[in-house]
């Protein structure tokens, strides 16, 4: 007898049109779609072609009209400002409709792009939904990114305007955004003519005449704006993810498939019911924030939480337990890093004992590999299911998970369980051929990808094919390695390219290398992702100095740390670099980054047959030892 999961999974692969056509009935369509799956332009598949809808209408208006007007839609909980605010669906709709009017008054129309550079405040969510309301395409940029990173995104997205705030707050530190925005606009070739600034009481931004608009003042003049229907295949947002060359890639999310997939996922993956409280402890600048702070919970009629704080230090390791208790959270979704931080500060769970978690059912963890030790600690402390699941910015929702709303399968520590319905996941060898269970290879997904995943990259179909489809024709290349065990459980072992995962944030080591190589004393360099028990991975630099440099190597390393922080931001967590005599290379000149990472992680490695000089590997080990580097 097949269980509910296997039945759903099999149908999703054998008859995807029927499977997703049934799921699409949960969404309001202004015009019915003509075809569930349009495969006329392979490999550019499109879902729900011919249909029209509005994502904001499905997230807000539909619920207000359907009886949820007085239900809480959004709870803003900010321990850093000692603020808790609640918005009903009706109140949130009013705020979004009014700000949509502000956008329209400032020249934003259907198909235009808007960059949102905001902290974790309700106005970030309001700005995103307001863009969706009028058919504009938003691109949220994480507030921790430095001006040059923002400038690159400005030049690629070419926004009509930027929505920002006067400041963000990191712990006890107030970070003023206006100088960062001004610098980014100066650096960018595409000149943004208008910014809308939300003034926070913690810092006031001086406005530039003729360009900057005060959010509150603009709202007083604006009128609420209705929803603009868009095509199901029209873009809803662009979200930039690190590329292996250091140049970010603009992942596009469409409207129709996105609404259908996220609505389906709230019930079938997360086991939620409309009206319950769902909390994704992430940031709106990342894909989790898009999918499960903003869109997923609201599309499904849940209450979502926007938390401006940390798992520890705001004020203590009981912060997450307090939020769950105060707001009656049913499910929490966060990164393993958060629980490693809580475990470090409160290993015996003393703070947990202070709070009532009776309404809490499930902890979901994703964004990086969930190590078995953290899994067991969380599971033992909570006495509730701890569900590891795996997905990517490109997919927008889970590729593999224990689908709690379909069927709770036995949990295996270290595995995100099995592929989610719609994702035909295979493990391939170097020639693109499937390998038997138990054999490690490259994780790939047979095309077409299900709804809600990315149809292409922003204005770059060629890069989309080159980066994801051409490597293994007929498949989406995930960039991760892994294997299936004999029970069909999948295990994800890590990246096979140079994008590293720092506390759930995908960052390009190539971008860091470009910055380091700009230092006048540096001849060449390499950055690898070294294992870290707290953040999953941390960047570790290897630097070869130019001949004749007499400066103290420690001073040079300090320079490099500062440069990466200034040009990428503190989110890079680049804090360690080692000066070496030379880098290990193949005879063709390729740097052996994988071998260097294994040396740093104290893993067993074989000397590559293509290496130019094997002695250099011993030199790398000696250099790490001389600076006291140890695997974290």
Q: Which CATH number covers residue 161?
A: 3.40.50.12780
Instruction: Give the pLDDT of residue 69.
Output: 98
Q: Are residues 449 and 594 in the same domain?
A: no
Q: Which CATH number covers residue 573?
A: 3.30.300.30
Backbone angles phi, psi at 47, to 5 degrees: -105, 140
- Is 518 a domain residue? yes
132-177: per-residue pLDDT in tens?
A: 999 999 999 988 678 988 999 999 999 999 999 999 998 889 999 9
- Is 537 a domain residue? yes
Contacts (Cβ under 8 Å, ≥6 apart) of 598: 604, 605
DSSP designation for 585:
B
Sheet containing 362-365: order of strands? 83-88, 72-78, 303-307, 277-280, 329-334, 362-365, 386-388
Domain boundaries, position 64: 4-309+389-478
- Is 358 a domain residue? no
Q: Comparing 6-10, 79-83, 554-558, which segment has the lowest mean pLDDT?
A: 554-558
Instruction: Give the pLDDT of residue 244.
Output: 44
Q: Are residues 400 and 466 in the same domain?
A: yes
Parallel, antiparallel, or unpaired: how do β-strands 113-117 and 161-165 relate? parallel
Say how far apart CA 168 and CA 144 lie, in whole Å. Answer: 9
Instruction: Give the pLDDT of residue 590.
Output: 66
- Is 260 a domain residue? yes
- Is 316 a domain residue? no
Q: Are residues 135 and 274 in the same domain?
A: yes
Q: Higher confidence at residue 103 or residue 594?
A: 103
Q: Comparing 198-212, 243-257, 572-586, which segment has the lowest mean pLDDT?
A: 243-257
- Domain end marker among 449, 478, 507: 478
- Is 334 a domain residue? no
Backbone angles phi, psi at 435, to 5 degrees: -110, 160
**Is residue 298's pLDDT more than 90?**
yes
Instruction: Output the CA angle 17-20-25, nearest 5 degrees.
Output: 120
Instruction: Give the pLDDT of residue 631.
Output: 63
Contacts (Cβ under 8 Å, ≥6 apart) of 585: 591, 592, 611, 612, 616
Instruction: Give the pLDDT of residue 495.
Output: 72
Task: Compute the mean pLDDT over every residue in the chain, rounded to the nearest whole number.
Answer: 92
Instruction: Give the pLDDT of residue 486.
Output: 95
Alpha helices in 158-223 (DSSP H): 178-187, 215-221
Say how far apart CA 144 and CA 391 lie, in whole Å. Answer: 23
Instruction: Give the pLDDT of residue 435.
Output: 95
- Domain end marker among 427, 446, 478: 478
Instruction: Give the pLDDT of residue 498.
Output: 65
Q: Are residues 255 and 178 in the same domain?
A: yes
**Is residue 573's pLDDT more than 90?**
no
Q: Are residues 473 and 606 in the same domain?
A: no
**What crossing angle do the helices spanning 336-345 and 372-382 adopt, rounded to 10°?**
70
Q: Comparing 47-51, 276-280, 510-514, which segment has the lowest mean pLDDT?
A: 510-514
Q: How far is CA 310 from CA 57, 140, 378, 625, in A?
A: 32, 20, 17, 34
Q: Are residues 459 and 564 in the same domain?
A: no
**Is residue 113's pLDDT more than 90?**
yes
Q: Cβ(225)–Cβ(215) under 8 Å?
A: no
Q: Are residues 145 and 227 in the same domain?
A: yes
Q: Are residues 472 and 505 in the same domain?
A: no
Residue percentage of the chain with pLDDT more than 90? 73
Q: Are residues 193 and 243 in the same domain?
A: yes
Pair of tokens at residue 106: 């400032």
Contacts (Cβ under 8 Å, ≥6 apart) of 178: 164, 166, 197, 205, 206
Instruction: Give the pLDDT of residue 563.
Output: 92
Q: Comparing 90-104, 422-436, 535-549, which segment has the lowest mean pLDDT?
A: 535-549
Total number of domains in the chain: 2
Q: Are residues 543 and 448 in the same domain?
A: no
Say how far apart CA 372 and CA 391 lie, in whole Å. Answer: 18
- Is 399 a domain residue? yes
Determine the 3-state secondary structure of 586 from DSSP.
strand
Say how far apart CA 542 and CA 557 lie, in whole Å. Answer: 10
Long-range CB contact pairs, 13-21, < 8 A, 24+:
13/422, 13/424, 16/422, 16/448, 16/450, 19/421, 19/422, 20/47, 20/260, 20/422, 20/450, 20/451
Instruction: Give the pLDDT of residue 632.
Output: 55
Q: Cβ(389)–Cβ(416) under 8 Å?
A: yes
Q: Are residues 412 and 520 in the same domain?
A: no
Pair of tokens at residue 468: 């994801």
- Is 596 a domain residue? yes
**Is residue 245's pLDDT more than 50?**
no
Rg of the chain over all Cα atoms, to the nearest angstrom: 24
Overall average pLDDT of the 603-612 stretch: 75
Q: Are residues 393 and 473 in the same domain?
A: yes
* Burial status of residue 201 (CB atoms within 10 A of its CB: 0-12, 13-18, 19 or more): exposed
**Is residue 130's pLDDT more than 70?**
yes
């Amino acid at each position: 007898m097949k269980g509910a999961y296997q039945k759903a999974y099999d149908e999703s692969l054998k008859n995807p049109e029927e499977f997703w056509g049934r799921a699409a009935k949960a969404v309001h369509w202004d015009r019915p779609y003509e075809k569930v799956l349009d495969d006329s332009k392979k490999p550019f598949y499109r879902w729900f072609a011919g249909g029209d809808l509005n994502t904001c209408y499905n997230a807000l208006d539909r619920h207000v009209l359907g009886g949820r007007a007085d239900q809480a839609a959004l709870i803003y909980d900010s321990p850093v400002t000692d603020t808790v605010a609640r918005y009903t669906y009706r109140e949130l709709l009013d705020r979004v409709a009014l700000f949509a009017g502000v956008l329209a008054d400032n020249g934003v129309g259907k198909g235009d792009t808007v960059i949102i550079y905001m902290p974790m405040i309700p106005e970030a969510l309001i700005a995103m939904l307001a863009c969706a309301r009028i058919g504009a395409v938003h691109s949220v940029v994480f507030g921790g990114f430095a001006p040059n990173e923002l400038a690159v995104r400005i030049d690629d997205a070419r926004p009509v305007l930027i929505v920002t705030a006067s400041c963000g707050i990191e712990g006890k530190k107030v970070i003023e955004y206006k100088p960062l925005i001004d610098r980014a606009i100066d650096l960018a070739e595409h000149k943004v003519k208008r910014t809308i600034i939300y003034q926070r009481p913690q810092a006031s931004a001086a406005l530039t005449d003729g360009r900057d608009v005060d959010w509150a003042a603009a709202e007083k003049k604006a009128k609420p704006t209705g929803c603009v229907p868009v095509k199901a295949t029209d873009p809803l947002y662009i979200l930039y993810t690190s590329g292996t060359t250091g140049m970010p890639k603009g992942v596009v999310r469409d409207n129709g498939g996105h609404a259908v997939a996220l609505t389906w996922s709230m019930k079938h993956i997360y086991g939620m019911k409309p009206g319950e409280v769902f909390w994704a402890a992430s940031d709106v600048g990342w894909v989790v924030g898009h999918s499960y702070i903003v869109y997923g919970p609201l599309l499904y009629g849940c209450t979502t939480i926007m938390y401006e704080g940390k798992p520890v230090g705001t004020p203590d390791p009981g912060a997450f337990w307090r939020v769950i208790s105060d707001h009656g959270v049913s499910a929490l979704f966060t990164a393993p890093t958060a629980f490693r931080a809580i475990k470090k500060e409160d290993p015996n769970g003393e703070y947990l004992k202070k709070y009532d978690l009776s309404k809490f059912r499930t902890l979901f963890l994703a964004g990086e590999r969930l190590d078995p030790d953290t899994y067991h600690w969380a599971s033992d402390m909570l006495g509730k299911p701890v569900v590891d699941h795996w997905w990517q910015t490109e997919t927008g929702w889970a590729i593999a998970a224990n689908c709690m709303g379909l069927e709770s399968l036995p949990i295996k520590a270290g595995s995100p369980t099995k592929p989610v319905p719609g994702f035909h996941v295979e493990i391939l060898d170097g020639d693109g051929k499937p390998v038997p269970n138990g054999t490690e290879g490259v994780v790939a997904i047979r095309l077409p990808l299900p709804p809600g995943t990315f149809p292409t990259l922003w204005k770059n179909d060629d890069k989309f094919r080159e980066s994801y489809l051409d490597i293994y024709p007929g498949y989406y290349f995930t960039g991760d390695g892994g294997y299936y065990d004999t029970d069909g459980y999948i295990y994800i072992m890590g990246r096979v390219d140079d994008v590293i995962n720092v506390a759930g944030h995908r960052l390009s080591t190539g971008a860091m290398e470009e910055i380091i190589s700009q230092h006048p004393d540096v001849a060449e360099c390499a950055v690898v992702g070294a294992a870290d028990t707290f953040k999953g991975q941390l960047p570790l630099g290897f630097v070869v100095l130019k001949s004749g440099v007499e400066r103290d190597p420690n001073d040079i390393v300090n320079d490099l740390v500062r440069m990466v922080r200034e040009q990428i931001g503190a989110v890079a967590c680049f804090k360690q670099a080692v000066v070496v005599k030379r880098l290990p290379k193949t005879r063709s000149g390729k740097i052996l980054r994988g071998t260097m990472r294994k040396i740093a992680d104290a893993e067993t490695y074989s000397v590559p047959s293509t290496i130019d000089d094997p002695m250099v590997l011993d030199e790398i080990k000696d250099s790490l030892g001389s600076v006291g580097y140890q695997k974290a």
